[in-house]
Structure 1
Amino acid sequence: MTVEILYSEVCNLFGDIGNVRYLEKSLPDSEFIYTRLGEKPYFAENKVNLIYLGSMSESVQALVIKELEPYKSKISNMIADGTAFIITGSAVDIFGKSIIDGDSGEVLEGLGLADIKVIRDMNHRYSGFVLAEREGLEFAGFQAQFTQTTVENPEHRFLKVKKGRGMNENCDYEGVKINNFYATNLLGPFLLVNPLFTKKLLSEISGKEVRVAFESEATEAYKKRIDDFKNPSIKVH
């Protein structure tokens, strides 16, 4: 199994590098390719099973869009063919049509690979936790974002929010799912905080059951966190 980690030298905010470390520990026999800014992505000419991209600053978003722009068609085909992508935090924004500055009106064109609209307001940052679910599986995570995001196609909405805020203040969904393309603003690190999802996804990708790193401890912590988030006395922010 081949995993490509994109731009981890700059796309590692909010502890998202923990997602990379968890993948490394959970897939010790896999090949990991670490692509840096300015390098041609490995996926451009080679088959990969999983691509990971983590949180980045607003200035880095523009750089990453420029880096990936030549490979939009390739990425689109990979998504259609079922290649797995895990996109976390602010990395989600770059896959949409545009990122609009809510104050100046300035528009940063995105890759246009997901039907999302992003409005950024640097004067208002939202922080809190989220309890969500999909097909009976519960998810926990944390938000720290300046954005209000709309996923225009209901079929591409990843999670149903049960407690906390969605991708914008007026919705009850979080994240994007298109085939095996998973994109979420949730932090944690997301993969470590949600080991049952991570185990399920990695097992599906590899075609065999994967025992994720620290599985029993991570699962125990996950169940405790889910119970805590359900507690009515616990506020979301």
Structure 2
Amino acid sequence: MSEKGILYTQQEARLFFDLLRPSPGDSILDIGCGCGDILESCIHKGLDSTGLEPSPVMLDMAFERLSHRANLFRGYAEDLPFDDNSFNHASLFTTLEFVSDPRKAIEESFRVAKDRVFIGVLNRYAIKGLQRRIQGFFGRGIYAKARFFTLWELKTMVRELAGDVPVTWRSICLFPEPGKPVSCSPDTWPLAQRMPFGTFVGMVVTLKPRFRLRPLALPYPSESRYKESLTGFAAETQKKYRKDT
């Protein structure tokens, strides 16, 4: 990875943890984990880490990198093979760009997480996002079939799927400096984190508690069984009541 790529990754990971704020021992599912960049950071933070990825090649790379330090599954973001509320947190880290149904992927992440969900996307309105879209238009690189999002689109989908839940977001803005190809602003320009046109937008959704209900069967004796069980004074009282009525 180039020096610029390492810089991007470090800043995105920092934003991820600043927004999500997981506690050591929390469980997290990284949906679309790729080769395991975020999973490795989660492991270093002491999280019980699980990754899901549709590409066997990427899964092999993640396993070589993480070995048995994380649970890895092959699957799709739109149909997660986990029960409701299986994890404290879930992450869609530059995943929505490459799924068939982004709305369904977000809905599934809300289903399996019980505390918070992180959604990180490459901003459609950023200059870098425009460059990626042009590359994709000409069929170049991994962005040939990618779909880019805006902050407003994410907020709309979240509200429609989860209702009026707390949402926190920040962005990473990259600015040129004299003698340097790029500079990341989050550490030195706090105001820039609130710019909706940043190169990378991270959002955390705090979910409302959800409970799965099931019918509870209560044993109740049938009328015939109740009659048969009456003895002594109770039986005489029942006979008298029936005779009077």
TM-score band by shorter chain is 0.3 to 0.5
Structure showing the higher strand proportion among its residues: 1
Structure showing the higher helix proportion among its residues: 2
Flag the structure with larger Rg: 2
| TM-score (normalised: structure 1) | 0.34
| TM-score (normalised: structure 2) | 0.34
Q: Relative contact order (alpha carbons < 8 A, sep ≥ 6): 1 or 2 greater?
A: 1
